Amino acid sequence: MFITQTSFARDIARDIKPDDPVPQVAVPDFTRLFKEASPAVVNISTLAKPKSRASIYGPGGEELPEIFRRYFGIPLPDAPSSSTPQPMSLGSGFIISSDGFILTNNHVVEGADEIIVKLSDRSETRAELVGSDKRSDLAVLKIDSKRPLPVVRLGDSDKAEPGQWVAAIGSPFNFEYSITKGIVSALNRSLPNDSYVPFIQTDVPINPGNSGGPLFNMKGEVIGINSQIFTRSGGFMGLSFAIPIDHAMWAVEQIKSKGYVTRGWLGVAIQEVDRELAESFGLEKPMGALINQVVPGGPADKAKLHPGDIITRFNDRAIYHSGSLPMRVGVVAPGDKASVEFIRNGKRMTTRVEVGQLPDENAERGGRPARKESAENRLGIQVAELDSDYRSKLRLDKDISGLVVTNVVSGVARAIGVRQGDVITDINKVRVDSVAVFEKTVKKLPVNRSISMRVIRQGQPGYITFRLTE
């Protein structure tokens, strides 16, 4: 038995005096959960034919990014000359049907030539990749068995609440069938590289090898798939992220039926509405998704949405943060119509939009023909040359020359508030109207002195200043 949060709070209010010691709350017993659920959890290993030179990102490797790194596998030296498949990665998964369908992360099996599944009775069998979805990091496997296999019970991730107990079962660092526990920390988290998944954030200890394993509620039901961690060391640091099982099963049904996942698409580039933007647009508080680009001929363009519109509701669901909009749009079937509520020039308006189908990843990154862009530089931004498309969408006069900011990565530009969609016309008193001039100018910028930059934002020009250090 353990005291629930509700009764605990009530007892404090009624019985605890200011000088009394804080009572200890018992941790729930996970023994029964583990006994009942663990037989349906599997260990997954993969093999790949050696390439001329290969390396797999692993925990703690210097080449891994500092945050939200994918965690699986071990570093490989130069591939041997032998054609024998070599170990590539380790992970977890769980059986979702007694005839052998298994759910795991795409990054656990991506690029594998052979997938080996180890069951709870320690038997091993080869698995077939039914299909995968890179955007949501999901993969469905199939194994053959002469007997019905144990399966997990699926829960309702929409009923998850911050503060509730959860547990993970998997193979961290290949220590098979390890269970760890914690609580749900937050819901509907949007991560930088995964804008189509409303992640469940937990403080459950998750490490390399847990990837693809189940996240259980106290009823022993799967409510998520452990997928990512926040780490600077390669190991657990208190922030873990799981794909909600409701979202996963929506993708699984498509993968099982056609081998891939289709998503809805609005055809806009968006950004977060911060306090300054909210004030400038006449909002009482920061909320919504600010459109900074509309793809020509896309669904939003056909619905007459414009750059500068702030989407506040989609299909009657509030959009509090910009990251939640792609999630809402993505689960709408292409061809279906959706309602969009937005603010334009301080007025609240509504429209109907016929949702399109999300293009492939290359088309998604901008949704426009290729144009010359700069690489990342000392300012931490990428820019592109203005063309008729950009001029139209940004409502710029033909006589304006400059470069449009397509990406703000880090560093000085982010610190001084440069935003995607800004048009840079001058840097350090030099007119920049081509990528070549821009790159040359940025390389020659002085250090430890004030530098001016002229920026046009939403049709309004202005100067901002910054300093570069050694």
Confidence of residue 56 (pLDDT cuts 50, 70, 90): very low
Name the residue with higher pLDDT: 2 or 440: 440
pLDDT value at 367 more than 80: no
Lowest mean pLDDT among 220-224, 234-238, 334-338: 234-238
What pLDDT, on the 0 to 100 scale, is given for residue 365? 35
The pLDDT score that the predictor gives to residue 45 is 92
Segment 299-317, tens digit of pLDDT: 999 999 999 999 999 999 9
| Residue 278, pLDDT score | 86
For residue 408, the model assigns a pLDDT of 75
Q: Are 261 and 136 in contact (CB under 8 A)?
A: yes
Instruction: Report in angstroms the alpha-carbon separations of 289 from 105, 129, 293, 320, 356.
Output: 29, 37, 12, 8, 19
**pLDDT confidence of residue 15:** 53
pLDDT tens digit sequence for 241-269? 999 999 999 999 998 888 888 899 999 98
First to last CA, the chain: 60
Give the per-residue pLDDT at 152: 96
**pLDDT of amino acid 50:** 63
CA distance 242 to 225: 5
pLDDT at 52 over 80: no
> Any idea which of 70-74, 211-215, 290-294, 320-324 has the lowest mean pLDDT?
70-74
pLDDT given at position 361: 47
pLDDT, tens digit, for every residue of 381-439? 888 888 766 666 666 776 778 888 877 766 788 778 888 788 898 998 899 988 889 98
Query: With bands split at pLDDT 50, 70 and 90, how would you rate the model's confidence at 13?
Result: very low
| More reliable by pLDDT, 30 or 194 | 30
The confidence score (pLDDT) of residue 368 equals 37
Amino acid at the residue 246: D
Q: Is 345 left (phi over 0), alpha (psi -120 to 50) or beta?
A: left
pLDDT tens for each residue of 15-41? 545 565 655 666 788 999 999 999 999
User: Cα separation of 365 and 382, whole Å?
Assistant: 13
* Domain 264-363 class in CATH: mainly beta
Averaged pLDDT for residues 76-80: 44
What is the distance between the alpha carbons of residues 123 and 141, in angstroms, rounded to a whole number?
16
Q: What pLDDT is stored for residue 75 in this prediction?
A: 41
The stretch 326-334 carries a mean pLDDT of 90
DSSP string, 379-410: TSEEEEE--HHHHHHHT--TT---EEEEEE-S
Task: Please report the pLDDT score of residue 95 as a whole number.
Answer: 96
Q: What is the pLDDT of residue 274?
A: 87
Give percent of the chain with pLDDT exceeding 90. 39
Q: Does domain 28-256 have CATH number 3.30.499.10?
A: no
Decide which of 123 and 459 is more confident.
Answer: 123
Residue carrying structure tokens 């409701």: 246
Please check whether the two domains, 264-363 and 381-466, share a CATH topology. Answer: yes
Q: Which amino acid is at 1?
A: M
CATH topology of domain 381-466: Pdz3 Domain (2.30.42)
Q: Is residue 441 classed as helix, strand or coil in its secondary structure?
A: helix
Rounded mean pLDDT of the chain?
81
| Helix (H) or strand (E) run with residue 245 in it | helix 245-258
- Enzyme catalytic residues: 107, 137, 211
Residue 149 has pLDDT above 90, yes or no: yes
Higher pLDDT, 193 or 461: 461
Residue 69, pLDDT score: 40
Residue-wise pLDDT for 109-142, tens only, equals 988 889 999 999 999 999 999 999 988 899 999 9
Residue given tokens 């929506």 in the structure block: 250
The Cα–Cα gap between 405 and 401 comes to 13
pLDDT band, very low/low/confident/very high, at 234 (cuts 50, 70, 90): low
What are the boundaries of each domain within the chain?
28-256, 264-363, 381-466
Mean pLDDT, residues 164-188: 92
